[in-house]
Amino acid sequence: MKHYDVAAYIWPSYTGKEKRALQFWEQGIGEWQTVLKAEARTDGQILPRKPLWGTVDEADPQVMEYQINEATRHGVNVFIYDWYWYDRRPFLEQCLDEGFLGAPNNEQMRFYLMWANHDAGYVWDKRQPDNDEIIWFGSQPRAEFDRVCRRVIDLYFKRPNYYTIDGCPVFMIYEISNLVRGLGGVDNTRAALESFRQAVKDAGFPGLHLQATIYAEHAVNVSGVDGAREGSTKDLVRMLGFDSVTHYQFCHFLDCNRDYLDLLPDLQAEWDRIRRDYSVPYYPHISVGWDNNPRYNHLTMPIIRNNTPAAVKKALEMAKAYADRYNDVPLITINSWNEWTEMSYLEPDDVYGYGYLEAVRDVFLGNTD
């Protein structure tokens, strides 16, 4: 059977080992605190869902040893770690550094980084989720950008199981516009990325594969300073020389306030548009669901409804068909392994059990029952 690179995003908040996270989750168990307090607020909303494996510490290597085994036997063979850099130092690295990389079987699975360079506010704090104050800025000046580059090359790219395309380490950037803002415009950003590429080559790799997270196509500030120069996401991808694109979440580009199956025609149309409009490969993305209500004390929309394993399986079949038809590299991204507070996860729960993982297995490995 054909091999596929099935890559699930990991939100690395399910640990109490990050001291700076106590300002959001004061109980010292990370965002499990929010999951445990989730309540249903509207008919048809399947809340609260609870993890079948319990509120485990995903910075524990024994926990991750088990999760790696479960992921790989169901066809998930790559983890994409959300990776943060705030206030001149990393944030929430423990799940990757201590959990995944500390697991004795970690090399059975590959991984890569998505630099989640968005601003950090109080949305993680259920006591004040509507507070729009920014705690840390995700945009970084050139000196900090260079520190980020050195860190990821030295600590991660050199790992034997870091994910590569054509031998080049893959590094995803979540918010291109924030990158440009911090570096002071497109020209400065292009120079910084070229410097990053050269540093990767100097480390012994044939090059760097830069991947962009894209959203709905919209005008963005490409000057980094003011609105005098505007373009779109596809313009920035071209001007900055990204090598590929994918998505992070359906809610970034689809109307998600409806049934899951109703999304799929619009999803296919968006994939077709991207393939026409972009000059680099698009790696198809599937989200398991969307419902951000666990983080709020009031009802918030949108909510994807009826995201059953059977419905998600149909979306996964679409992604497989797209990869088979259009891509030399059979990479599919999935949101996510463990986004419990956004109700978009593959980990087993008390409603569908292993249903989502079994859907992945059936599509990419064939039904082994």
Interatomic CA distance for residues 44 and 332, integer angstroms = 30
pLDDT the model gives residue 291: 93
Interatomic CA distance for residues 240 and 332, integer angstroms = 23
Full pLDDT tens readout for the chain, 369 residues: 899 999 999 999 999 999 999 999 999 999 999 999 888 776 556 677 899 999 999 999 999 999 999 999 999 999 999 999 999 999 999 999 999 999 999 999 999 999 999 999 999 999 998 899 999 999 999 999 999 999 999 999 999 999 999 999 999 999 999 999 999 999 999 999 999 999 999 999 999 999 999 988 765 554 444 444 456 889 999 999 999 999 999 999 999 999 999 999 999 999 999 999 999 999 999 999 999 999 988 888 999 999 999 999 999 999 999 999 999 999 999 999 999 999 999 999 999 999 999 999 999 999 755
With H, G, I as helix, E, B as strand and everything else as coil, classify residue 79: strand
φ, ψ at 130 (rounded to 5°): -90, 0
Q: Is the peptide bond before 336 cis (omega within 30 degrees of 0)?
A: yes
Residue with tokens 């979540």: 174
Interatomic CA distance for residues 171 and 148, integer angstroms = 12
The ranges assigned to domains in the chain are 5-138+247-364
Identity of residue 153: I
CATH superfamily of domain region 5-138+247-364: Glycosidases (3.20.20.80)
Interatomic CA distance for residues 199 and 203, integer angstroms = 6
